[in-house]
């Protein structure tokens, strides 16, 4: 975030250059187990449905074992068709991360 205020000698303007219009985001996603992080991935840019589906199919599913639980929040890219099927095909159980489900686990 860019500072909006600054200090200058009395009677003089505070002038400084700030970056604008060139914001970039980096996305980090990984699987979390009780003893390790699995399937880490860094993307240059935001997460979208196609990128999330590719991550699930190529990175996460090969590390899943039957009976694993995959917890995802309510982000729209988590609801892309094919994500649930890929997780279930690996033998894992997809879950939504509301408090109701967390207390049941």
The more confident residue out of 20 and 35 is 35
Question: How far is it, in rounded angstroms, from Cα 46 to Cα 22?
Answer: 14
The pLDDT of residue 37 is above 70:
yes
Tell me the pLDDT tens digit for each residue of 89-104: 999 999 876 555 445 5
Sign of the CA dihedral running 83, 89, 90, 95: positive
pLDDT at 1: 62
The more confident residue out of 89 and 23 is 89
For the chain, count helices (H), then strands (E).
3, 4
pLDDT at 92: 95
Buried residues in 81-103 as b, exposed as e (16+ CB within 10 A): eebeebbeebebebeeeeeeeee
Beta strand 69-72 with 93-96 is: parallel
- pLDDT band per the 50, 70, 90 thresholds, residue 29: very high
| Domain boundaries defined on the chain | 26-104
Mean pLDDT of the chain: 87
């Amino acid at each position: 975030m860019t500072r909006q205020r600054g200090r200058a000698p009395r009677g003089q303007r505070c002038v400084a250059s700030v970056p604008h219009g060139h914001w970039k985001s980096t996305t980090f996603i990984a699987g979390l187990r009780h003893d390790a992080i699995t399937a880490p991935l860094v993307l240059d840019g935001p997460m979208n449905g196609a990128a999330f589906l590719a991550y699930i199919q190529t990175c996460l599913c090969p590390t899943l074992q039957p009976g694993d639980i995959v917890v995802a929040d309510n982000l729209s890219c988590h609801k892309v068709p094919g994500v649930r099927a890929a997780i279930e095909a690996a033998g894992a159980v997809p879950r939504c991360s509301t408090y109701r489900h967390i207390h049941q686990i």
